Amino acid sequence: MVPQRTLKHPIRCSGIGLHSGHKVSLCLKPAPEDSGIVFHQLSGESTVEIPARAEFVTDTRMCTTLGRDGTHIATVEHLLSALAGLGIDNAIIEVDGPEVPIMDGSSAPFVFLIQCAGIREQSRAKKVLRIVKKVTVQEDDKQCSLHPATGFKISYLLDYDHPLLRERAASIDFSSQAYTREVARARTFGFLHEIEALQKAGLALGGSLENAIVLDAFRVVNEGGLRYEDECVRHKILDTVGDLALAGYPVVGAFEGERTGHDMNHRLVSALLADESAWRIEELKAEDSAVQTMQGQTASQPA
């Protein structure tokens, strides 16, 4: 049996929300078997529980936002990506603001927090969502799909009208490549000419060179440059890991995406879950080659 996993101890952090610009405190806590990942939005004396599942997605503009009973938590994808990348099945995430802190724009700070808290194996078997039939969502030149495969793989084509971002592709097979090494440090990115319009729309109010890659018409503005030569496409893969986690279970299958973002990722997960012939829930077997990622064996590697 491959066991479910949670945290050993609670751990806290604080930071700025990328879009709200507000300071936010966050606490990761252990959770019981089969409870999944659940956000607790703290507001005064009340707490609203929002499960990290696709049915609770309320907005996908520039980030993934979850909501329930009029309460919303934005920019959940980087934290969900870190939890999935380290094989965490069950956790409580307490947030005292409208958004998960952006930290440095990647999932590496969350990976570090999880590693510091420690990971505890639980008594029940890990369950996965195995893709058994291809599901595709397409719109104009954008498309993404999930199809049957051994393990968990993501292939992504990035294509922007920018000299550094034209037809950049990357593929990560998580049964042989470590999330912490290949994906976790990739930061979110944006374009200098779009910042004013985004801020007028109430977005990117907390954005800076400390938490995002910024590109002008020709180059990367950040003094330190890129962490990976193809950091922007790797960040798209990082986002996809977080968005696919909203299926409610680790996915066993392959994702292929072209020019997609949070909206199409959400539409794909929703289309998948709506077609019960396309998937099945099963216990993860030790002999499954997906076990390296799904069991979180990358957790001991530095972020």
Question: Hey, which residues are catalytic here?
Answer: 262
Cα Rg of the chain, angstroms: 18
Do the beta carbons of residue 171 and residue 153 sit within 8 Å? yes
Question: Which residues, other chains included, contact 235 with Cβ-Cβ below 8 Å and sequence gap of 6+?
Answer: 106, 186, 187, 188, 189, 213
Single-letter amino acid, residue 134 = K
* Cα gap 104→109, rounded to integer Å: 7
Do the beta carbons of residue 73 and residue 65 sit within 8 Å? yes
- Of 173, 156, 143, nearest to 271 by C-alpha is 143
- CA 29 to mean position of chain CA atoms: 18
- Of 239, 161, 227, 231, nearest to 194 by C-alpha is 161
